[in-house]
Amino acid sequence: MQYHPHEYQHFAINFIETHPVAAVILDMGLGKTSITLTAIEDLMFDSFEVSRVLVIAPLRVAKMTWPDELRQWDHLSHLTFAVAVGTESERRAAVVQNADITIINRENLPWLVEKSGLPLNFDMVVIDELSSFKSWQSQRFKAFMRLRPHVRRVVGLTGTPSSNGLMDLFAEYRCLDMGERLGRFIGRYRAAWFTPEKTNGSIVYSYRLRPGAEEQIYKRIADITISMKAMDHLSMPELISTRTVVKMSDDERAAYDKLKRDLVLTSEDFIIDSKPSEAGLSRRGAVAERLSFPDASGKRMDVQLTATSAASLSSKLSQLANGCVYDDSGAPAVFHDRKLDALEDLLEAATSPVLVCYWYRHDLSRIQERLSRLGISYAEIREPDSIRRWNAGEIPVGLIHPASAGHGLNLQQGGHTMIWFGLTWSLELYEQCIARLWRQGQQSRTVVVTHIVTEKTIDEQILRALECKSRTQEDLIAAVKANIERS
C-alpha cells in the first residue's frame, strides 16, 4: 500500500529525523508507528545515520502492530525485521539475525541487556509507550539506562506522558536525555519542583508542585518534545461519554458503608494516622470484619474481608460496587447484580457490536454467565483471530481487559460502542482502551462510551480522579504542542 502522509505526519517525521533525542507525544490514532518507521527508513537509506534499530514495545504491539505496519506500506518493504519474543531460544535467534529493526517486548529488555550476552550494536532505540518507563525503580528502566550510553538516537512515543502527574516525567525523560533536562536523581527533581504534601514524620506519601514549577518543567523539555492532538489534525468522530447509574438496596448500601466505615474512615486516615482507628485498624496492621449480606439467591452468607493497605480497601470497595468481591480465601462472593442488569438493558438497546471493559476476573465470569443465559454471542478480544473476527463484525459482544487491550490494537472497524462494567484508576489504560474505537479509520460519526456507575460508591471517585488527571495531562500536551503552521 502506498503511504501518503498527512501534513502533520510529515512534520513529525522531520522532527524525529532532525532530533537525535525526541519525545513524540501523539494522540491515539495519529499513526505514530508509520511515522516512526518512515523516519527510520529515511535515516537508514537517505542520510545513512542509522544502521540498526531496537524497538521496545508492549507484548501485543511488538508481536502484531509493528510487524503489520512494516508489511503494510510499500516504502518499508525493503526493511528487514525480527521479533524477539517467546522462549529464550526464539528471542536469541531473532536478535542474532542482525535485522534492520529488532522488536522486543519491554518485559524482556532486562534479559537482552543483562543476561543474553549478545552484542547490543544498536545505534537507535524506539520506546513505544514511553510512559511504561515512568518508574525509576523498575527493572526495565534500570536495564535501559545500561544500554542508553551506547545509543546515539532515542525516540520515545506515547499518548499519555503524565497519566499520574508530572512526577512521571523524571524517569521518562532520563531515558531520553540521561538527565540533561530534569536531572539525574529523583531526589533532586522532587526538591527542585515539588514540595511534600502528605507526610508522617520523615515519610512522604505524596508531593505537590511548587508554584510556577509546571511551566518551568515544560520549558526544560520543550526543545526535544513534540505534541499533537488528534482533534487538531483528523476529522475525528464525536466522542460521547455517558453514565448509567445503578443503586444498591438499603441492605447492600448498609454492608458497603459498614466495610468502608469499620475498616478505615478515609484513605488519608489510614496512611497518616499512627494510632489505631476506631475499628482497630493500625497504620501497619490489618483488621478483619465479618460481613453478612445476601447472595444472588437471597440466602445470607458470611464473608471474611481483610484490608492490609489503602490499596486493598480501595480494591474491595471497587469490587463491591461491581457486585462481587474476593474474600480472604480467594473465593468470589456475589454481592449484587445491579451492574449486570444494567449491562443487559444496554445490550438490548445496542444497534451495533459492543466492547465491554471489565477489571476483575470474577466480573468477566459473571458477564459471561449472563450473556450465555441471554443467548448473546461473545468473545474475549485478545488473540489475532478474535481481533480479526471483531473487525469483521462477527462478534456481537467483545470482552476486553484494559491492561491487555490498551495499547496498539485497532478495533475501530468492528463497532463504535464501549461499556465500562468496572473502572480503573489508570488514566493511561483508560484512554488507550477508549482509543481502540475512537481513532482514525472509525466509520461511525460518533463513538459512545458508557460507564456503569454504582451510586455513592468508589466508582464516582474513580471517574473524578480520571478527569483530574486528564486535565494535568492536557496541560502538558498543550505546553509543548506542535505549531505546524509557523514551522
Residues 6+ apart with CB under 8 A from 407: 58, 60, 61, 128, 129, 432
pLDDT in tens, 226-239: 988 766 766 778 88
Strands 397-400 and 101-105: unpaired
Q: In the chain, which stretches have pLDDT less than 50? A: 264-296, 298-301, 486-487
CA–CA gap between residue 276 and residue 263 (Å, rounded):
11
Give the pLDDT confidence score for residue 244 in this predicted structure: 87
Give the pLDDT confidence score for residue 481 in this predicted structure: 65
Q: Contact, 435 vs 230, CB < 8 A?
A: no
Give the pLDDT confidence score for residue 325 in this predicted structure: 85
Three cell numbers, residue 339 = 451492574
Nearest to 345 by CA among 452, 213, 423, 219: 452
Please give the domain boundaries of the chain with CATH numbers for all domains. Answer: 7-234+475-486 (3.40.50.10810), 238-246+337-456 (3.40.50.300), 250-334 (no CATH)
Give the pLDDT confidence score for residue 216 in this predicted structure: 94
Place of cell 524482556: 108
SS3 content of the chain, % helix, strand, coil (to 5): 45, 20, 35
- Long-range contacts, stretch 240-244, CB < 8 angstroms, 24+ apart: 240/446, 240/447, 240/448, 240/449, 241/449, 241/450, 241/451, 242/448, 242/449, 242/450, 242/451, 243/450, 243/451, 243/452, 243/453, 243/463, 244/342, 244/345, 244/346, 244/450, 244/451, 244/452, 244/453
Residues 6+ apart with CB under 8 A from 89: none
The one-letter code for the residue type at 7 is E
Q: Contact, 16 vs 22, CB < 8 A?
A: yes
Q: What is the 3-state secondary structure (H, E, C) of 415-451?
A: CCEEEECCCCCCHHHHHHHHCCCCCCCCCCCEEEEEE
Place of cell 480497601: 313
Confidence (pTM): 0.63
Q: Measured in Å, how far apart are the chain's first and last C-alpha atoms?
A: 29
The one-letter code for the residue type at 337 is D
CA–CA gap between residue 318 and residue 316 (Å, rounded):
5
CA–CA gap between residue 426 and residue 407 (Å, rounded):
13
Give the pLDDT confidence score for residue 221 in this predicted structure: 94
The β-bridge partners of 332 are 326
CA–CA gap between residue 337 and residue 26 (Å, rounded):
40
Q: Over the Cα atoms of the chain, what is R_g?
A: 24
CA–CA gap between residue 115 and residue 224 (Å, rounded):
32
